[in-house]
Amino acid sequence: MGKFRRVPVGIVGASGYGGVQLVRLLMDHPEVELVYLGGDNSIGKSLGDLYPHLAHAANLPIEAVEPEIIARRCEVVFLSLSNGLACQIAPTLLEKGCKILDLSADYRFSNLTTYTNWYGIERSDRSTAATAIYGLPELYRDRISEAQLIGCPGCYPTASLLALSPLLKQGLIVPETAIIDAKSGTSDNGQPAKTNSLFTEADNSIAAYNVGRHRDTPEIEQICSDLAGHELTIQFTPHFIPMVRGILATVYATMRDPGLVRDDLITIFSAFYRNSPWIKVCGSGIYPQTKWANGSNLCYIGLEVDPRTGRVIVMSAIDNLIKGKAGQAIQCLNLMMGWDETLGLPKLGFYP
């Protein structure tokens, strides 16, 4: 009987919120072994020094980010870095044979000019970027399974696109009428904390931000355009609300067929996501809450039709750090490795 072998995995940018979620989830994954944690700002410290609650379980040291060394030790590398950093090391890691899952925006765009226009970062890795696959499994499962480089979606785009995809793919709405109103917990702001995510700023308040210019907008538009078959401009407005985790995206759009009712759309969405284990379409009159998804890789979708306005309203709830970040990256890893899509991922949220 052959010796059981776990796949060696590393995380670059292990000390941020996304990195910590990856550590927690990968520690419970039956097919991988976490062998490397990297980060320039915490070299020499252990993970337990930064997060004492992990000291008894995953007290690995934070090491220097040296692609040659990482590639010798890891078959799979998660890049949980600020925008503009992943693209500096991904080409070397790929050349050495590593599979890469990038949690930043660096490899989400098919057109790097769009990336540069919105992120202000010039790129020299166009050939590498051309091989990247957008990591939303519910839409691109087959492509992900054959990829070496995945650009994992942002949390707002994940919630928004899962709400919009069946409507656009099936031609059920007038695409240009789509409006996304999304609300996120403050952990979406990452570390170090920005002023608007501090407790004294966020508590007892709700506020829109980056109105008309949020950098997730072109990412959403790119995938919506792919689904609709032509270029689309989408209205997207994000808000911060006083909670740590979760995103609720509410999507409005004018229906092509005013005769469709709520139960029709529930049937259509259920069929569209019939092979997607992480999507839960709610029953009639049930609208999702962010608390349902907290701590899990699930996305809950609720539907309503307003016959007075002829609009469909779709509500999508996820945990921004799991399905919107680390969990979705591991979901992509499972597909890349030919494993069950649900392996090592939490199937139920923390409630209450």
If DSSP states are collapsed to H, E and C, what string results for 245-312?
A: CCEEEEEEEEECCCCCCHHHHHHHHHHHCCCCCCEEECCCCCCCCHHHHCCCCCEEEEEEEECCCCEE
Could you identify the residue written with the tokens 């990591």? Answer: 135
Whether residue 2 has pLDDT greater than 60: no
Residue 194 has a pLDDT of: 65
Q: What are the pLDDT digits (tens) for 32-44?
A: 999 999 987 788 8
pLDDT in tens, 163-172: 999 999 999 9
Whether the predicted pLDDT of 201 surpasses 60 = yes
Q: What is the pLDDT of residue 1?
A: 39
Q: What stretches of the chain show up as alpha helix (H) in DSSP?
A: 17-27, 47-50, 67-73, 86-95, 112-119, 126-129, 137-145, 155-169, 199-202, 217-228, 262-272, 290-293, 327-336
Q: Exactly one of 155, 224, 299, 332 is catalytic; which is it?
A: 155
| Local structure of 224: helix, strand or coil | helix
Q: What is the pLDDT of residue 44?
A: 82
In this prediction, residues 96-112 reach a mean pLDDT of: 97
- 207-208 and 235-240: which strand pairing? antiparallel
Q: What is the pLDDT of residue 188?
A: 76
- Residues contacting residue 213 through CB under 8 Å, at least 6 positions apart: none
pLDDT-derived band at 351, boundaries 50, 70, 90: confident
54-100 pLDDT, tens digit each: 888 877 889 999 999 999 999 999 999 999 999 999 999 999 999 99
Q: What is the mean pLDDT of the chain?
A: 93
**173 phi and psi angles, rounded to 5 deg:** -130, 165
DSSP state of 99: E
Helix (H) or strand (E) holding 35: strand 32-38
Half-sphere exposure of 43 (CA within 13 A, CB side): 6
With cut-offs at 50, 70 and 90, classify the pLDDT of residue 223. Answer: very high
At 131 the pLDDT is 97
Amino acid at the residue 300: Y
Mean pLDDT in residue range 216-222: 97
Q: Is the peptide bond before 192 cis (omega within 30 degrees of 0)?
A: yes
Average confidence (pLDDT) over 216-221: 97
152 is catalytic: no
- DSSP-derived letter for residue 33 is E
Quote the crossing angle between the two packed helices 155-169 and 137-145, to the nearest 10°: 100
Greater pLDDT, 137 or 1: 137
Burial letters 196-213, b for 16+ CB under 10 A, else e: ebeeeebeeeeeeeeeee
The answer to whether residues 253 and 174 touch, using CB atoms and an 8 Å cutoff, is yes
Owner of token pair 């240009």: 176
Say what the pLDDT of residue 202 is. 76
Give the model's pLDDT for residue 123.
92
The two structure tokens encoding residue 122: 């010039």
Q: Which residue has the higher pLDDT, 40 or 266?
A: 266
* pLDDT tens, residue by residue, 288-347: 999 999 999 999 999 999 999 999 999 999 999 999 999 999 999 999 999 999 999 999
Convert the pLDDT of each residue in 65-76 to its tens digit.
999 999 999 999
**φ and ψ at residue 306, rounded to 5 degrees:** -105, 100
Question: Can you name the residues that pair with 303 across neighbouring β-strands?
Answer: 314
The phi-psi region of residue 84 (left if phi > 0; otherwise alpha if psi is between -120 and 50; otherwise beta) is left
Return the SS3 of 319: coil
Backbone angles phi, psi at 308, to 5 degrees: -70, -40
Query: Smallest Cα–Cα separation from 300: which of 229, 248, 232, 227?
Result: 248
157 pLDDT above the threshold of 80: yes
In the chain, the percentage of residues whose pLDDT exceeds 70 is: 96
